[in-house]
Amino acid sequence: SAAAFTVRAEGGINPDVRKNEEKVVDSVVASELTKPLTAYCRCWRSGTFPLCDGSHVKHNKATGDNVGPLLVKK
Ligand code: FES
């Protein structure tokens, strides 16, 4: 189905994460984290957003960017 919202060709940071939402917001209850370390995506390329899946490596190589995840320790 068509996205309800569109992104300008220039100035957009999110290529395809949940484009049907006006604003992508996630929240985490820190006390409910199960793993000692959780990586959250900040490059907007992860296939498992909001979790990091390593896609930032490909993005950085392709663009010269230097983005990486937010690591949250339990
Ligand atoms: Fe986006 Fe790792 S996949 S920061």
> Going from the N-terminus, what domains does the chain have, and what CATH number goes with each?
30-73 (3.40.5.90)
Q: Check pocket membership of 19 for ligand 1, CB cut-off 6 A.
A: no
Ligand 1 atom having least distance to the Cα of 69? 4
pLDDT per residue, tens digit, the chain (74 aa), is 455 555 555 678 999 999 999 999 999 998 999 999 999 999 999 999 999 999 999 999 999 999 999 999 99
Measured CA to CA, the distance from residue 68 to residue 56 in angstroms comes to: 6
Q: Check pocket membership of 59 for ligand 1, CB cut-off 6 A.
A: no
Q: Give the dihedral of Cα atoms 56, 8, 21, 28; nearest 10 deg.
A: 40
Measured CA to CA, the distance from residue 74 to residue 72 in angstroms comes to: 7
- Ligand 1: distance of its center to the CA of 3 in Å? 23
ipTM over 0.95: yes
44-69 CB burial, b ≥16 within 10 A, e <16 = bbbeebbebeebbeebeeeeeeeebb
pLDDT for the residue numbered 11 = 76
